[in-house]
Amino acid sequence: MMDDGELIQEKLNEYLLLLAPLERAEKDLDIARKMLRAKTEEDIHRIAPSLGLVSETLNISTIDLLLAEDRPKFLNEALARSGLTVEEVRNILVPQIDRAREELKIIGIPDSI
């Protein structure tokens, strides 16, 4: 007959044995989530290249931007963190992508963020 310490150890071993596949599944889900996010952002950038450029310039996630409840506020906060001015961002966007202003208007971002 096992003593209490052995029974406890057996339960811990059982727990660890059952936990391992769950932890692997969590890691797999996390990887899948990151891959989905990256693929979605890549697709969005292909559709609207200016969004990719904004994302890269301000070091933000396009998905986070598009899902933000208040996009202008989100952009203003990102702009403040970046240390760039609105004019500097425009100077990066407009010459490189002729459709930038129109694409940004489509998603509800005004000319002046």
pLDDT in tens, 14-61: 999 999 999 999 999 999 999 999 999 999 999 888 889 889 999 999
Q: Is the pLDDT of residue 84 over 80?
A: yes
Q: Is the pLDDT of residue 73 over 80?
A: yes
pTM for this prediction: 0.71
Place of tokens 């727990």: 15
The average pLDDT across 6-19 equals 96
Angle subtended at Cα 21 by Cα 14 and Cα 4, rounded to the nearest 5 degrees: 10
Q: Is the pLDDT of residue 112 over 60?
A: no
